[in-house]
Amino acid sequence: MGYDFTTSDVRYLSGAADDLAEVDRLELTARTHLADIGRVRTRFGDRAGALVETVLLRRRAVGKLDDRPWLLTDDALQQATPTVVARHRAARLAGRDVHDVTCSVGAELSALVGVAGAVLGSDLDPVRLAMATRNVPGATVIRADALVPCSRGTVVLADPARRAGGKRRHDPAALVPPLPDLLDVYAGRDIAVKCAPGLDYDELGWDGEVEIVSLSGGVREACLWSPGLAGDGVRRRATVLAADGSGWDLTDAEPDDIPEREPGEWIVDPDGAVVRAGLVRHYASRHGLWQLDPRIAYLTGDRVPPGVRGFRILVQLKYSEKALRQELARLDCGVAEILVRGLDVDPAVLRPRLKLRGIRSLSVVLTRIGRTPTAFVCAAGTRE
C-alpha cells in the first residue's frame, strides 16, 4: 500500500533536500531494512516514514520519470505516464492551452510546460495537488472534480485511475472518474484520454483516433484523441518509442495491400503497438513484407526493416513435439528461444520436453498456416 502521505509531509519534504540526501545514502534493501529504518527513526523521528518512502519511490522512478526531485505516492508512480511518452503526447498538443483534469502529481504537466500554451492541472486529492505544485512550478494547479468542467477553450487531458491499492481495474465504468461519464461531460470538446491498451474501443463507440503506444518494446498505453485532435483520416495509430524519445508511427490511412506468397527468408514479429492497433498489414505494406497467415501477426519477407529483430528461417516443418525435438537435435541445438502465436503451446512447458543437449542457440517460431500447425527453426534472432 505504501506510506500514507499528508499535506504536512509534502510541506516538510519540499524543503528537506538535505534530509532526503542523508537517507538516500543508506542501502534500504531487504538485507539492511531493519537497521536502516532504525537509524532513520533515531535521526528523524516521526518524519522517518515520509523520508524513506520518498527515497524509495524516487529510486523506482529512475528510467520512468525525468531526473527532477519528484514527490510521489506509490499509486501515483504506478500510474504516472513515463516522461518519454508524456513528451510525445505534449508535442501533439504544442501551442494549445491544456487542462489536465486528473493531474495527480504532475507527470503529464511536466512535459506540457514550455511546449503547450497555458497549462492548468486539477485533481481532487489534496496531497497529490500539493506534490504537483512542488513538482511542476510552471503549471497552475487547482482542486477540482474532473467531472465538473471548470475551464474554457482548453484541450482536456485525462488519465482515469486504473489502480487502487495496487490493484488494476479493467471495466471502463469502474475507473476514477468513470470513462463513459468523462466522455459524456466533455462531449464536443477537444479531449485526449490515456487508457489501458486492452480496452475495447469499438464497444465504447469512440469516433476519434485510437493511438497505441509502445516504449522500449513494451506496449504501455492507448490514447483516445477526439476528432478535432486526430490525424487527417486516421482512426488507428501505432507509435513506437525508444528510451531516448526517438521513434516512428504508422496509421490506418496508409496502404495495406500485401501479396500472398510462401514464407520468405525471414520472419518478423511486429512491435506490440502495431499488433494492438490492428495495423499488421499496413506495417507489412510499408516494408515490403507479407503474412505467414492472414489471421496471424507474424510477417515474412526477404529482408528485415532497419532496426527490427528478424529470424532467418533454417527449416520449416509441420509441428509436433517429436518432429521439432528431432530437428533441433539434428541441428545441435542446446538453447532455444520459443515464440508462439496461434497455437496452444506454453514455451515454458515445451522447452524441457525438447531435451536440448547441443551447443547452438536457435529460435523456434510456432504458428498456424491455414489449419496446419507449423514450426520454423531459425537462426537466433538478430537486429538488422
Amino acid 343 reads L
Packing angle of the helix pair 17-24, 33-44 (nearest 10 deg): 150
β-pair type (333-340, 290-291): unpaired
What is the pLDDT tens value at each position of the chain, 384 positions in all? 579 999 999 999 999 999 999 999 999 999 999 999 999 999 999 999 999 999 999 999 999 999 999 999 999 999 999 999 999 999 999 999 999 999 999 999 999 999 999 999 999 999 999 999 999 999 999 999 999 999 999 999 999 987 555 556 667 888 889 999 999 999 999 999 999 888 877 777 889 999 999 999 999 999 999 999 998 999 999 999 999 999 999 999 999 999 999 999 999 999 999 999 999 999 999 999 999 999 999 999 999 998 898 999 999 999 999 999 999 999 999 999 999 999 999 999 999 999 999 999 999 999 999 999 999 999 976 665
Q: How many CA atoms within 13 Å lie on the side-chain side of 331?
A: 25
* SS3 state at 124: coil
> Between 7-14 and 48-61, two packed helices, what is the crossing angle to 10 degrees?
70
Express each pLDDT in 316-351 by its tens digit: 999 999 999 999 999 999 999 999 999 999 999 999
Q: What does each C-alpha distance from 277 to 169, 198, 243, 249 come to in angstroms?
A: 21, 10, 21, 11
Place of cell 538488422: 384
Integer Rg of the chain from CA: 25
User: What's at 16, amino acid-wise?
Assistant: A
Instruction: Write the CA distances from 284 to 205, 260, 292, 297, 298, integer angstroms.
Output: 28, 12, 11, 10, 10
Give long-range contacts, CB 8 A cutoff, 24+ apart: 197-203: 197/221, 197/222, 197/276, 198/170, 198/276, 199/172
Q: Crossing angle for the helix pair 126-135 and 7-14, nearest 10 degrees? A: 20
Query: Residue 65 and residue 9: Cα distance in Å, rounded?
Result: 21
CA–CA gap between residue 334 and residue 215 (Å, rounded): 32
Residues 211 and 286: their CA atoms lie apart, in Å, by 18
Predicted confidence at residue 170, as pLDDT, reads 64
3 state DSSP class of 221: strand
Beta strands in 1-130 (DSSP E): 98-100, 119-123
Q: Distances in Å between the alpha carbon of 89 and those of 56, 282, 311?
A: 28, 23, 33
Q: Are 50 and 78 in contact (CB under 8 A)?
A: no
pLDDT of residue 164: 55
Tell me if 345 sits within 8 A of 368, measured CB to CB.
Answer: no
**Whole-number pLDDT of residue 187:** 94
What pTM value is reported for the model? Answer: 0.92
Per-residue pLDDT, 59: 98
Task: For residue 176, give the DSSP letter.
Answer: B
Q: Which residues pair with 223 in a beta bridge?
A: 194, 211
The Cα–Cα gap between 246 and 276 comes to 20
Distance CA(253)–CA(236), nearest Å, equals 8
CB 89 within 8 A of CB 109: no
What is the C-alpha to C-alpha distance for residues 284 and 144, in angstroms, rounded to an integer? 46
pLDDT in the model for residue 383: 62
Q: Which three-class secondary structure state does DSSP give residue 160? A: coil
